[in-house]
């Protein structure tokens, strides 16, 4: 897989009245690969949201550089080209919808790109279908649920034909049902349309679904690896204030009591492992 976004020795300090304000990000080196599903974990204040904002030139590094394909985010002339490739879905579903009707909102991005009307129409319909919101195309956004609003926001990005979508804690403010909907949408876009997904989150269950997980702590990258690698590192989780997904915690408790179990992360894996252990012990 080739690199899509590359962060090279990136540091970022927010402007502040206090001259000694701590850096929000310190010397971060990271590659986002084309077509991957990358989760970024970390507690509040770990720098994960700052990281997200550096990826599409909302922020420009104080030191180091961020390269999207061949474009430096510090190059003001490239900002527009970067943003049509790297879209972003924000945390608060209400604060990113601009129009009073769903389909008009989805059209907003393509309209800004100056596309001809028929082409916008096609893209809008396609985008709404791909997030399963086509039936709501004439609805008023404020009457939708949180999960539906976020899917409209996703459609608005897809309609620009971006290669990569960053979800900046996009599931933090919506209920579990909405969260499932958004997560399913992310996975489908990644799998079926090959869109690169960067998912900033503090829900372990979302990180478990990713190809790779980045753990941020105190403005630096604390670990990068597959979900299995990251969650198997107990010391890392404790140090960075993360918790083990519930299924993994259960399996670990049983393992601690001396029953040999493989390392599991998801509910499905846990059920499989426990079933096998039970059969082996001859209680089934």
Partner 1 sequence: MAVLEVQGLTHLYGAKTARETAAVQDVDLRIEPGELLGVIGHTGSGKSTLIQHFNALLTPTRGQVLLDGADVNRDKQSRREARFRVGLCFQYPEYQLFEETVYKDISFGPANMQLPKDEIDRRVRTAAAFVGLDESLLEKSPFDLSGGEKRRAAIAGVMAMEPEILVLDEPTAGLDPRGRERILDMILRYRRETGSTVVLVSHSMEDIARVATRALVMNRSRAVMQGTVGEVFARGEELLQMGLDVPASTRIFLELRQRGVPVQTDVYTAAQGVDAFLRLLGKEARA
Partner 2 sequence: MIRDITIGQYMPGNSFLHKMDARSKIVLTFAFILAIFFCKNFWSLGLMVLLSAVLVPVSRVPVRSVLRSLRPLIFILLFTAVLNLFYTKSGNVLWSWRFLTLTDKGLYTAVFMAVRILALVAVSTLLTFTTTPTDLTDGIERLLSPLKAVKVPVHSLAMMMTLALRFIPTLIEEIDRIMSAQKARGADLETGGFVRRAKALLPILIPLFVSSFRRAYDLAFAMECRCYRGGEGRTRMRQMRFTVRDGAACGVFALVIAGVAVLNFFFKPLI
**Binding region for partner 1 (CB under 8 A):** 42-45, 91, 145-146, 172-173, 175-178, 202, 204, 241-243, 245-247, 249-250, 253-254, 257-259, 267, 270-271, 274-275, 277-278, 281, 283-284
Residue 101 in contact with partner 2, rule: CB under 8 A: yes
CB of 157 to partner 1, least distance (A): 22
Distance between CA atoms of residues 62 and 15, nearest Å: 10
Candidates 42, 47, 61, 110; binder of partner 2 (CB under 8 A) is: 110
3-class DSSP state of 131: coil
Pick one of partner 2, partner 1, none as the site partner of residue 226 (Cβ within 5 to 8 A by kind). none
Half-sphere exposure of residue 270: CA atoms within 13 angstroms, side-chain side: 14
The tokens of 279 are what?
């059969």
Candidates 34, 84, 239, 255; binder of partner 2 (CB under 8 A) is: 84
Distance between CA atoms of residues 187 and 195, nearest Å: 9
Contact yes or no for 166/135 (Cβ under 8 A): no
Half-sphere exposure of residue 142: CA atoms within 13 angstroms, side-chain side: 4
Distance between CA atoms of residues 257 and 99, nearest Å: 57
Pick one of partner 2, partner 1, none as the site partner of residue 104 (Cβ within 5 to 8 A by kind). partner 2
Residue 166's CB is within 10 A of a number of other CB atoms, namely: 27
The tokens of 282 are what?
């001859």
Site string for partner 2, 40-59 (x = CB under 8 A): ----------------x-x-
Residue 5 in contact with partner 2, rule: CB under 8 A: no
Distance between CA atoms of residues 266 and 275, nearest Å: 14
Pick one of partner 2, partner 1, none as the site partner of residue 128 (Cβ within 5 to 8 A by kind). none
Judged by the rule CB under 8 A, the positions of this chain that interact with partner 2 are 56, 58, 80, 83-84, 87-88, 90, 92, 94-101, 103-104, 107-117, 120-121, 124, 138, 140-142, 156-157, 160
């Amino acid at each position: 897989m080739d690199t899509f976004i590359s962060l090279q020795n990136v540091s970022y300090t927010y402007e502040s009245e206090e001259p000694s304000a701590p850096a929000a990000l310190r010397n971060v080196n990271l590659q986002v690969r084309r077509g991957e599903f990358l989760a970024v974990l970390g507690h509040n204040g770990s720098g994960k949201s700052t990281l997200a904002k550096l990826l599409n030139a909302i922020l420009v590094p104080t030191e180091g550089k961020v390269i999207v394909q061949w474009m430096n985010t510090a190059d003001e002339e490239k900002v527009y080209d970067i943003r049509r490739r790297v879209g972003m879905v924000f945390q608060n579903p209400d604060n990113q919808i601009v129009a009073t009707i769903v389909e008009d909102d989805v059209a907003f991005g393509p309209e800004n790109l100056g596309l001809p009307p028929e082409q916008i129409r096609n893209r809008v319909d396609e985008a709404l279908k791909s997030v399963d919101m086509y039936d709501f195309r004439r609805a008023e956004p404020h009457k939708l649920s949180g999960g539906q609003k976020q899917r409209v926001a996703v459609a608005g990005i897809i309609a620009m034909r971006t290669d990569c979508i960053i979800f900046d804690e996009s599931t933090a403010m919506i209920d579990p049902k909405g969260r499932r909907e958004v997560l399913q949408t992310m996975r489908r876009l990644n799998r079926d349309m090959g869109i690169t997904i960067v998912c900033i989150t503090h829900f372990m269950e979302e990180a478990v679904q990713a190809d790779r997980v980045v753990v941020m702590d105190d403005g630096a990258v604390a670990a990068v690896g597959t979900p299995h690698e990251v969650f198997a590192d107990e010391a890392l989780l404790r140090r960075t204030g993360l918790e083990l997904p519930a299924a993994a915690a259960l399996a670990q408790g049983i393992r601690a009591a001396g029953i040999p179990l493989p390392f599991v992360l998801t509910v499905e894996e846990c059920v499989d492992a426990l079933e096998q252990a039970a059969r082996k012990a001859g209680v089934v």
